[in-house]
Amino acid sequence: MHIVIPGILEKNWNTIEDKIEVIKQFSNSVHIDFIDGKFAPNTTFLDPNPFQKYSKDLFLEAHLMVENPLQYLEPLTTAGFRRFLGHIEKMSNLEEFVAKGELLGEVGLAIDSQTDIEKLNIPYQDLDCLLLMGVKAGYSGQEFIPNTLERIKKIKGQNETVLIEVDGGVNNKNIKDIKNAGADRFVATSFLFKEGDPSKNFQTLLSLTS
């Protein structure tokens, strides 16, 4: 089963809330980017608490582009987040993050587009999913890096059952190629909101993955 997940990368809560109100009209899940300015030269809204009001209507997924993502797990859980994706680049102990995340909800590891996938030195069966960046982590609206397709194929070649989520640069021109490479979930952020009707843009992506 292939799933398209709307993504939000914003600094301001009012903008986030406006987008959530739109998203919940056509999707039952949302991917929220948390960036602390240390992992990448950008910052987003970092307080998980206001999201709690949407935790009954939407499946909340947190993408942690932060230093020490482990410390975010409990506050996110309290706010109603149910899936936690932490970047290995700023993680001191992958096993500890995965073990704690499993106790609180679904857990996955994220890897930036420049990072060697061999650094994912943890059994894939311990993960609910694996997130591969299709761009350099930190900003929305970037062009998809074609080499991501080969990275997906390599991981699927190692373990065909691991769920792969791709985030960054996903649009109507490349989502079929990303799917055919072996991806299972697709995070769409700028494509949904850049122009046109977000709902129609979402349906376009869904139709291309069916």
For the chain, the distance separating the N- and C-terminal CA atoms, rounded to the nearest angstrom, is 8
Q: State yes or no: is 33 an active-site residue.
A: yes
Please classify residue 195 by burial: count the beta carbons closer than 10 Å to its beta carbon, then call 0-12 exposed, 13-18 middle and 19+ buried.
Answer: exposed
- Which of 36, 112, 128, 167 is an active site residue? 167
Q: Which two tokens stand for residue 127?
A: 């993960």
Q: At what angle do helices 13-23 and 198-209 cross, to 10 degrees?
A: 60
Q: Per DSSP, what are the bridge partners of residue 87?
A: 110
Q: Which residue is catalytic, options 33, 36, 112, 184? A: 33
Residues paired with residue 83 on neighbouring β-strands, in sequence order: 61, 106
| Gyration radius from the chain CA atoms | 16
- Rounded Cα distance, 77 and 99, in Å: 14
Catalytic residues: 33, 167
